[in-house]
Amino acid sequence: MSKLFGTDGIRGTVNAHPMTSRIAMDVAVAAGHVFREGLKHRPTVLIAKDTRLSGYQMEPAMVSGFTSAGWDVLLLGPMPTPAVAALTRSMRADLGVMLSASHNPYHDNGIKLFGPQGYKLSDAVEAQIEASVARMAEEGPDFALAEPDKLGRVRRLDGAAGRYMELVKASFPDDLRLDGLRVAVDCANGAAYRIAPRILYELGADVIELGVEPDGLNINRECGATAPEALRRKVAEVGADIGLALDGDADRLIIVNERGRVIDGDQIMALIALNMKQSERLRGEGLVTTVMSNLGLERFLQSHDLRMERTRVGDRFVLERMRDLGWNFGGEQSGHMILSDYATTGDGMVAALQVLAVMVRQQRRASEVLNLVTPVPQVLKNVRFTGANPLDAEAVQALIATVEHEFGDAGRLVIRQSGTEPLIRVMAEGDDAAQVEAVVDRICEAVQAQAG
């Protein structure tokens, strides 16, 4: 059996391996078996989904798997990924499940699992679940199934959205309000389409809503954090003070300032980290981010006596490093921000409220507070492939080694396979923009030649 788990849970095109109803049910049985070991009580799992059509297919498959393994199931309905993590922890559930492919289009879906403390699973636990799925394929599922009188029950959890909203609002300073602030929010026709506008409204903002009419097929389509052009137009049209763009499961944030400029995660992290340091809320010596963050962010942090710790791409790897170091802030250039004082995973709305709090307290515009980092030229291009990983080809490896030698200390090169899509991501940065562009093009051409 091929590996199920990638960078962020299990993900793929619906009705193709591994994103089938059968696999979803088997993963639920396997996870139920693994996490049931040693428990002396009847276990409970929370299950939520985003707004894509296939949620109606995958949710009952997961329910069937968990109940057959002896678990009670609480259904949350459409809910952001960070809500599942937060509610799993606050309700002392034994497991949380989010059905979402995050920023991917509607035809993909995914399974994200959270342990009882609200954290994504470790590689070791994922391997245990995969081993149980493989065992079921070989000898049947009987070893993991409950006796007939021990089958689980299912009910919908009323008030889940309200509980999560209060947790998010608690991250905003008690002495501040958003009164008088015009905030445009693009919910990507995704999981936060009701929750995000309501949070902003209850905190006093004048809210302009986009991407709040999901139809099962339009999640992330020309909207949200990966396509902020619609938000840019809306900010200009209504004269908003700021635009907030979430992705389909609301665990990432991209901002548009009042001038229509798109602000990525590096600028947002710089602002939050500096504010936390100045208010003595930053634990540790800096922030954790990934290899994709711009060298300009690292230089900014150094100028304020802060460190940058880099990890491989994936917010769970950021969080693991944060926990190892005892630090309380980290994130990704793509917009995942983890503020561990308030959340156990990336939360777009929690990050947004930190930015809004700075704007309100300092009485400054978004363009003024989100202008701390001077980025060096950075180019990122993707090459789609089929079949074998083109990075394994000797010709590609030789070119990468040559380019790294040519770069020397003048730039940085990051080339990796996507953990969620059949893509090779080629990124280079350095002070010479022309050199950076040429380097990326050379490597992309070599990868394309091997891509099938």
Greatest CA separation for the chain = 69
Taking the C-alpha atoms of residue 181 and residue 270, their distance in angstroms, rounded to an integer, is 22
Nearest Cα neighbor of 305 from 284, 333, 331 is 284
> Which of these is catalytic: 102, 132, 293, 334?
102
Q: Are 182 and 17 in contact (CB under 8 A)?
A: no
323-339 burial code (b ≥16 CB/10 A, e <16): eebebbbbbbbbbbbbb
The single-letter code of the amino acid at 439 is V
The token duo for 415 is 């080339």
Residue for token pair 């922030």: 287
- For residue 19, report the phi and psi dihedrals to the nearest 5 degrees: -95, 65
> What is the C-alpha to C-alpha distance for residues 315 and 338, in angstroms, rounded to an integer?
8
CB 313 within 8 A of CB 88: no
Strand-pairing partners, residue 383, are 424
SS3 6: strand
Three-state DSSP string of 42-93: CCEEEEEECCCCCHHHHHHHHHHHHHHCCCEEEEEEECCHHHHHHHHHHCCC
The answer to whether 74 and 46 have CB atoms below 8 angstroms apart is yes
Active site residue 102: yes
Closest CA to 54 of 243, 201, 219: 219
- For 408-426, b/e burial (b = at least 16 CB within 10 A) is eeebbbbbbbebbeebbbb
Instruction: Tell me how far apart the alpha carbons of residues 184 and 174 are, in angstroms, rounded to a whole number.
Output: 22
Contact 413, 428 (CB under 8 A): yes
Report the C-alpha dihedral over residues 335, 161, 212, 367, rounded to 10 degrees: -40
Question: Where in the sequence numbering do the catalytic residues fall?
Answer: 102
